[in-house]
Amino acid sequence: MHIPNLFIYVIPCILLNSCTSAYVPNTINTPLFNEKGEIQVAIHSGTSGLDPQLSYAITNHIGLQLNGNYFMNASNVSGKIFDHYYAEIAPGYYSKINSIFRFETYGGFGLGKMEVERENELWDVNTDINLNRIFIQSSIGLTNDIVDTSFTTRFAVVNLNQNSVKRTGLFIEPVLTTKVGYKYVKAVFQFGFSFDLDTNNIYFRNSQPLLLSIGIQINPHKIFNL
């Protein structure tokens, strides 16, 4: 009887009771643009690993995001190695409510890959799992030269694929983001949660439940007066 590779991976995880995360949500990008031509470059580190972000205001109401993620987790105790690669693109709409308050919404699509290796005295397990995600996120916040703060909710449909085996999860991810500094460079702090909306889906029970990161954002258009 043939057992798909995904289940060969899942069964040892259950026995060891120490699975790596099935889904690792990346840091949410919240540019809060003011006008056409603005550029933001950021890098974050946290529960999702390393998250580079690039944002550009194409017009006075249309923005574009390019985001990536790299997560590596190695443990000699459990004998597991887990690498996660991910990239996404997200066009969206933003609007100035008044001089400081902003609203924005972005929808995007991303592709990624998980490479999992688990070793102990009984077996070695190596597997690659492909990931894709469709998402929509909306933010409301305020921005000035010193502080930006926003509340964002992201809805995500996550698909895990390995050979002919496919599993789908639905997540809601509320986060609070604060940026502090000056108009050229700001430190970024983000905290939130990732909730699996299908609690009966055993394939996503080990997903990362927190979004916690710290980063730095540079605004080249203000530095170089673009």
Looking up tokens 């946290």 gives: 46
Average pLDDT over residues 21-45: 95
CATH of 5-25+33-223, one of 2.40.160, 1.10.357, 1.10.10, 1.20.120: 2.40.160
More confident residue, 163 or 17: 163
Taking all residues of the chain, what is their mean pLDDT, rounded to a whole number?
Answer: 86
> Residue by residue, what is the 3-state secondary structure of 202-220?
HHHCCCCCEEEEEEEEECH
- Tell me, what's the pLDDT at 196? 94
More confident residue, 34 or 118: 34
More confident residue, 97 or 81: 97
Contact 213, 179 (CB under 8 A): no
- Tell me, what's the pLDDT at 16? 33
- Tell me, what's the pLDDT at 21? 66
Tens digits of residue pLDDT in 131-185:
999 999 999 999 999 999 999 999 999 999 988 889 999 999 999 999 999 999 9
Q: Would residue 32 be called left, alpha or beta, if left means φ above 0 and alpha means ψ between -120 and 50 degrees?
A: left
Class of residue 225 by CB neighbours under 10 A (exposed 0-12, middle 13-18, buried 19+): exposed
Tell me the backbone φ, ψ of residue 224, rounded to 5 degrees: -100, 5
Instruction: Indicate the range of 7-11, 74-78, 145-149 predicted with least confidence.
Output: 7-11
Average pLDDT over residues 204-221: 94
Q: Would residue 225 be called left, alpha or beta, if left means φ above 0 and alpha means ψ between -120 and 50 degrees?
A: left
